[in-house]
Amino acid sequence: MLVLAFDTATPAVTAALHDGEQVLAEHTTIDARRHGELLAPAIELVLGEARVTLREVTAVVAGSGPGPYTGLRVGLMTAQGLATTLGVPAYGVCSLDAVAYAGGRTEPFIAATDARRKEVFWARYSDLRTRVDGPFVDRPADVPTEGLPVVGAGAQLYPDLLGDGAGAPPYPYAGALAALAAERLAKGVALDPPRPIYLRRPDAVVPGAPKKVTA
């Protein structure tokens, strides 16, 4: 097994390789505006660090969000293109699942990331591996925490409402994404196809018909 995983659902453009036992290489750049420019170099870096070729990859995994349309599109289209070229399967894993998995918690909690517009993407977990509700998008004050700890960048942005987000990385780093996917694949758990989790309509819209100009 050699899983190539990457995520572009947040400002973290992140890629990693996992051999079924451990993360072989991981690279992350925090830049919310250059997903398209940074992903391919990140993939090249982890392949070089692990001293493997792209042809040795047996599965491609992309974070499927939720996240902004533009960022998600970069990662998921890359996953589909690489999988087609290599003749290997491509999968999508909820990006919040990677945040939850990296936190290592064994008790119920909530993972949250920044959704912009003063909102957060969030989901509820019974432990690091098990999502029981969500994902959703809400204003921080409307997240029904019910006293549960909240981890991730979404919480860090609104500490007065959601806590400080401690106990897990702020972003869905690819090392955790790859490890979770490899674990599920080894157990025979069916993974989802690489399809985006959109909780909002895209900001971009088709322009309407031009207005008539009268003299």
Q: What are residue 137's phi and psi, to 5 degrees?
A: -125, 130
Confidence at residue 163, expressed as pLDDT on a 0 to 100 scale:
86
Confidence at residue 164, expressed as pLDDT on a 0 to 100 scale:
79
Tell me the C-alpha distance between 166 and 150, whole Å.
Answer: 8
**Closest listed residue to residue 191, CA positions, set 89, 54, 84:** 89
Confidence at residue 32, expressed as pLDDT on a 0 to 100 scale:
87
pTM for this structure?
A: 0.90
Using pLDDT thresholds of 50, 70 and 90, give the confidence band for residue 208. Answer: low
**Closest listed residue to residue 127, CA positions, set 143, 151, 144, 146:** 151
Confidence at residue 200, expressed as pLDDT on a 0 to 100 scale:
73
Residue 166 confidence (pLDDT) above 80: no
Residue 207 confidence (pLDDT) above 90: no
- Between residues 60 and 32, the one the model is more confident about: 60
pLDDT average, residue stretch 177-192? 96
Confidence at residue 213, expressed as pLDDT on a 0 to 100 scale:
55
Q: Which amino acid, residue 100?
A: A
Two tokens at 77? Answer: 């289209």
Q: Is 65 left (phi over 0), alpha (psi -120 to 50) or beta?
A: left
Sheet holding 12-18, edge to edge: 23-30, 12-18, 3-7, 59-63, 90-93
Residue 204 confidence (pLDDT) above 50: no
DSSP state letter for 122: E
**Closest listed residue to residue 168, CA positions, set 102, 110, 114, 97:** 102
71-127 pLDDT per residue, tens: 999 999 999 999 999 999 999 999 999 999 999 999 999 999 999 999 999 999 999
119-160 pLDDT per residue, tens: 999 999 999 999 999 999 999 999 999 999 999 999 999 999
Confidence at residue 211, expressed as pLDDT on a 0 to 100 scale:
56
Q: What are residue 28's phi and psi, to 5 degrees?
A: -140, 135
Residue 206 confidence (pLDDT) above 80: no
The vertex-68 CA angle with 121 and 102, nearest 5°, equals 50
Q: Is 146 left (phi over 0), alpha (psi -120 to 50) or beta?
A: left
Using pLDDT thresholds of 50, 70 and 90, give the confidence band for residue 167. Answer: confident
- Between residues 165 and 38, the one the model is more confident about: 38
9-50 pLDDT per residue, tens: 999 999 999 999 999 999 999 998 899 999 999 999 999 999
pLDDT average, residue stretch 171-182? 98
What's the helix, strand, coil split of the chain in %, to 5?
Answer: 35, 25, 40
Query: Contacts by 76-84 with C-beta closer than 8 Å and gap 24+?
Result: 76/194, 76/195, 76/196, 78/6, 78/39, 78/40, 78/43, 79/6, 79/194, 80/194, 82/4, 82/54, 82/57, 83/194
CA distances from 75 to 61, 72, 78, 130, 150 (A): 9, 5, 5, 24, 26
